[in-house]
A and B are shown apart, each in its own frame.
Chain A
Amino acid sequence: QSALTQPPSVSGSLGQSVTISCTGTSSDVGRYNSVSWYQQHPGKAPRFMIYDVNNRPSGVPDRFSGSKSGNTASLTVSGLQAEDEADYYCSSYAGSISVVFGGGTRLTVL
């Protein structure tokens, strides 16, 4: 399976909102609602942020939200805080019992 497509980088100022896109195909993102998002700070393990497109695990601030339209899923971070600066990865169930990740997006907080 080919990796999902994410922009290499996005940026936003403190307190503002940013949206990260994640584009797949009709065989993964477009077909299944099993889209997840992960946050990864440098040198750290990924953190589970969103599942099934728009659900937050316990402990994840409600500033993080997800959505999906067609073959593209999105993660929106509202009220940007300094600690939100990190890499973000989307993933999707890709059929045939497999998972595909996105290429990752570096979020910079200005």
Chain B
Amino acid sequence: QVQLVESGGGVVQPGRSLGLSCAASGFIFRTSGVHWVRQAPGKALEWVAAISYDGSTTYYADSVKGRVTISRDNSKNTVFLQMNNLSAEDTAVYYCAKQAEVGWSHLDHWGQGTLVTVSS
């Protein structure tokens, strides 16, 4: 079955950087786009970034553009999210999600998320 497992979350000071990973299994990873979506405590889902199946194209929300980089290693079935210059507004659970075959913006499988807390 499809599995996505995020890791790398934790407590980080404002202005510092943090890298998240998403390990995928149960599907042909190299043919699927992957997205990151975050959810601040008690708040709604917010789309963060996406990467094409081969890593050649990346997409970012305006709220993180310039501070966040999404990448992937198809040999390791893993997607990464590097976040720089973090602020309290970045505190959230970060989910990675597999892009559905039915359309770019549809996310058919999600990981359980990893919590990032930005605090001094």
A contact set with B: CB distance below 8 Å:
1, 3, 34, 36, 38, 40, 44-48, 51-52, 55, 57, 89, 91-93, 97-104
- How many A-B pairs have beta carbons closer than 8 Å: the answer is 70
Q: Would you list which residues of chain B between 20 and 48 have a CB under 8 Å from chain A? A: 35, 37, 44-47
User: Is the pair B103, A52 in contact by a Cβ cutoff of 8 Å?
Assistant: yes
Q: How far is the CA of A8 from the CA of B90 in the complex (A)?
A: 23
Would you give 27 A-B contacts (Cβ < 8 Å), ordered by A?
A3-B44, A34-B103, A34-B105, A34-B106, A36-B105, A38-B107, A45-B95, A45-B111, A45-B112, A45-B113, A46-B37, A46-B110, A48-B100, A48-B106, A48-B107, A48-B108, A48-B109, A51-B103, A52-B106, A57-B108, A91-B45, A92-B105, A93-B104, A97-B104, A98-B59, A103-B44, A104-B45
Most B CB within 10 A of own CB, among A46, A52, A99: A99
Set of chain B residues within 8 Å of A40, measured between Cβ atoms: 45
Q: Could you tell me how many residues of chain B have their Cβ less than 8 Å away from some Cβ of chain A?
A: 25
Set of chain A residues within 8 Å of B100, measured between Cβ atoms: 48, 51, 57
Q: How far is the CA of A17 from the CA of B22 in the complex (A)?
A: 37
Set of chain A residues within 8 Å of B112, measured between Cβ atoms: 44-45
B contact set with A: CB distance below 8 Å:
35, 37, 44-47, 50, 59, 61-62, 95, 97, 100, 102-113
Set of chain A residues within 8 Å of B47, measured between Cβ atoms: 91, 98-101
**12 new A-B contacts at CB < 8 Å, known A36-B105, A51-B106, A93-B104:** A46-B37, A46-B45, A48-B106, A57-B108, A89-B44, A92-B105, A93-B103, A93-B105, A98-B61, A101-B45, A102-B44, A103-B44
